[in-house]
Amino acid sequence: MPRYFLEVSYKGTAYAGFQVQQNANTIQAEVEKALQTYFRSAFSLTGSSRTDTGVHALQNYFHFDTEHRIEVLRSVYHINAILPLDISVKNIFCVADAAHCRFDAVSRGYRYYLYQSKDPFLQERAYYYPYALDLELLNDAASSLIGTHSFGSFSKKNVQVKTFECTIFESRWSVHDEIFEYHVVGSRFLRGMVRGLVGTMLGVGRHRISVSEFINIRQSGQSARVDFSTPARGLFLEEVQFPKSIVSNKTTL
């Protein structure tokens, strides 16, 4: 049975996360319902990168197996017509039968947005944080994350993972039009990790903790000093990367 990757983007404000769950509406539940409505048969999707309640995505993926004939342009158009306005299917493309949108991903990229002047149009897409921040210190802390490290300190509790080790390829802060942006790319991310990193680095940016203390927090493996309070609305899953061999059949829509 042919396997397909389905590329989506979404505004996560109204949803209890990415993955299907009981008694709560999710991105996966809406996409499965739209596929079932269009193709008139049930679909079971496997997700690439789980995002928490309220987190947005410019790019995320599902994969599924089906015997239905999929005409890409027609299918994308009609599925989008069924989906709510805050979820969009960007592409569907056939992949090898063994391709897996979670395990074959080589990196994920996230971006977190902070704004410092009150703006009602950013309210659901960024974190209002009207405090002075030291950009140089933020980047000193961010650069200390690059490489392969254990990030158990920055993982929320009750997660079932074999290891807390992640490799960070890019980690930096920048400012554009008075908006602070944290950009991070890694091999994988733990539950709550990006928000924990951002919240704790803000303590560095406000001179509340030093860069060396931030590094010690990471190395300690203890989450007691990690600030997970940064809201979900500022976080975007920006990109999921796969080997070229997997996405070779992907067409630009």
* CATH 3.30.70.660 domain span(s) along the chain: 107-238
* Predicted structure pTM score: 0.94
Select which of 52, 104, 140, 227 is catalytic: 52
Q: State pLDDT tens for residues 99-137.
A: 999 999 999 999 999 999 999 999 999 999 999 999 999
Q: State pLDDT tens for residues 127-172.
A: 999 999 999 999 999 999 999 999 999 998 777 788 999 999 999 9
Cβ–Cβ under 8 Å, residues 101 and 48? yes
Reported confidence tier of residue 85, pLDDT bands at 50, 70, 90: very high
* CATH 3.30.70.580 domain span(s) along the chain: 3-100
In angstroms, rounded to a whole number, what is the distance separating the alpha carbons of residues 155 and 151?
A: 7
* pLDDT at site 161: 83
Q: State pLDDT tens for residues 172-210.
A: 999 998 899 999 999 999 999 999 999 999 999 999 999
Q: Give the 3-state secondary structure of residue 132.
A: coil
The 10 Å Cβ neighbour count of residue 94 is 14
Q: What angle do CA 133, 136, 138 make, to 5 degrees?
A: 60
Architecture of domain 107-238: 2-Layer Sandwich (3.30)
Beta strands in 46-200 (DSSP E): 46-47, 56-65, 87-95, 107-115, 127-128, 147-150, 165-176, 179-186
Q: Among this protein's residues, is 97 annotated catalytic?
A: no
- The topology (CATH level 3) of 3-100 is Alpha-Beta Plaits (3.30.70)
